């Protein structure tokens, strides 16, 4: 091994898969070997059996569907408001001066701590779930987008001015295209966080969703179902992350060229 030396695609896949195999092997060893009692940690086979039962008998796909819907809904609302505000703040310093201190403060308000308050305001319906995700994502998106847009290369902006661009042209034809890949990258990151918020919201007050299934299983001491739920979240996260990455590569070929 040498620092920063790249590896082949083949070895990358093998090494990545190897960790999953080792992880499952260790899990199987401690659960089958009796190192950890069954009621605390189900073994991989029990987990798969529980998962099969959940999917065939308890319509688990509906829970998954509703959770995905909540994440995407809350995330899209946060992004569609947060990205434009972030761009405006990054581009125009007075707007930044006006919003930045409050947004920086609001960013540290823990979204999960709002859940009791949101239940009071919005009940335990969908609005409350979307609100939790919104609070957790919106302020992060605004600040990160503002920083990205604000750090656009000055010499590119100057070049645009000498080519006859006006303020609006500089925003739409320089700041936006130059920031777009990093904004997309930020959204990919925040979507990952939104997944954590939705599960927390579902653990506390919900009658459907993956988080709700996990709380139900806890009451039944069914660790197999709990672990299956967690694994499903992980797999969905991995897939959505991969799709996001793929879309970014397609949308911004000039980055890779």
Partner 1 sequence: MSKLAIEDVSRVFPGVRGREPRALEPTSLAIEDNDFITILGPSGCGKSTLLRIVAGLDRPTAGRVLLDGQPVTGPGPDRGMVFQSYTLFPWLTVERNIRFGLREKRLPEAKQAEITARYIDRVGLRGFEHHYPKMLSGGMQQRTALARALANAPKMLLLDEPFGALDNQTRALMQELLLSIWESERKTVLFVTHDIEEAIFMANRVAVMSARPGRIKSDVRIELPHPRHYTMKTTPEFSAYKARLTEEIRAESIKAAQMAL
* Residue closer to partner 1 (CB basis): 151 or 207: 151
Beta strands in the chain (DSSP E): none
Question: Cα separation of 101 and 136, whole Å?
Answer: 17
* Residue closer to partner 1 (CB basis): 77 or 160: 160
Tell me if 174 contacts partner 1 by CB under 8 A.
Answer: yes
Tell me if 203 contacts partner 1 by CB under 8 A.
Answer: no
For the beta carbon of residue 222, count every other beta carbon within 10 angstroms: 20
What is the 8-class DSSP label of residue 165?
-
Tell me if 257 contacts partner 1 by CB under 8 A.
Answer: yes
Stretch that binds partner 1, among 141-149, 177-185, 186-194, 205-213 (CB under 8 A): 177-185
Under 8 Å between Cβ of 122 and 129: no
Stretch that binds partner 1, among 135-143, 195-203, 205-213, 246-254 (CB under 8 A): 246-254
Q: Interface mask (CB under 8 A) for partner 1, residues 101-130, using x and -?
A: ------------------------------
Q: What angle do CA 68, 71, 72 make, to 5 degrees?
A: 85
Min dist CB 176 to partner 1, Å, is 10
Contacts with partner 1 by CB under 8 A: the residue count is 23
What residue has token string 């039962």? Answer: 53
Q: Is 151 helix (H, G, I), strand (E, B) or coil?
A: coil
Min dist CB 159 to partner 1, Å, is 4
Q: Interface mask (CB under 8 A) for partner 1, residues 144-173, using x and -?
A: ---------x-xx-xxxxxxxxx--x---x
* Residue closer to partner 1 (CB basis): 2 or 250: 250
User: In Å, what is the CA distance from 233 to each residue of 38, 41, 227?
Assistant: 22, 18, 10
Closest listed residue to residue 24, CA positions, set 13, 14, 12, 32: 32
Tell me if 184 contacts partner 1 by CB under 8 A.
Answer: no
Closest listed residue to residue 78, CA positions, set 172, 207, 190: 190
Interaction site with partner 1 (CB under 8 A): 153, 155-156, 158-166, 169, 173-174, 177-178, 180, 252-255, 257
């Amino acid at each position: 091994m040498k620092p920063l030396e790249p590896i082949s695609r083949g070895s990358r896949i093998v090494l990545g898969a190897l960790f999953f195999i080792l992880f499952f092997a260790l899990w199987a060893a401690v659960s089958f070997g009796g190192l950890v009692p069954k009621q605390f940690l189900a073994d991989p086979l029990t987990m798969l059996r529980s998962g099969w039962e959940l999917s065939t008998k308890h319509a688990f796909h509906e829970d998954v569907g509703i959770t995905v819907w909540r994440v995407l809904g809350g995330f899209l609302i946060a992004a569609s408001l947060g990205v434009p505000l972030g761009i405006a703040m990054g581009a125009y310093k007075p707007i930044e001066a006006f919003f930045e201190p409050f947004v920086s403060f609001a960013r540290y308000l823990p979204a999960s701590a709002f859940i009791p308050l949101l239940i009071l305001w919005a009940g335990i319906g969908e609005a409350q779930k979307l609100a939790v995700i919104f609070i957790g994502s919106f302020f992060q998106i605004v600040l990160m987008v503002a920083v990205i847009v604000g750090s656009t290369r000055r010499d590119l902006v100057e070049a645009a001015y000498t080519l006859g661009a006006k303020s609006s042209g500089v925003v739409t034809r320089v700041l936006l295209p130059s920031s777009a890949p990093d904004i997309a990258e930020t959204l990919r990151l925040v979507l990952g966080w939104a997944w954590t918020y939705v599960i927390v919201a579902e653990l506390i007050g919900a009658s459907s969703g993956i988080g709700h299934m996990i709380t139900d299983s806890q009451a039944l001491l069914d660790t197999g179902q709990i672990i299956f739920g967690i694994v499903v979240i992980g797999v969905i996260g991995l897939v959505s992350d991969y799709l996001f990455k793929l879309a970014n590569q397609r949308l911004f070929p000039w980055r890779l060229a």
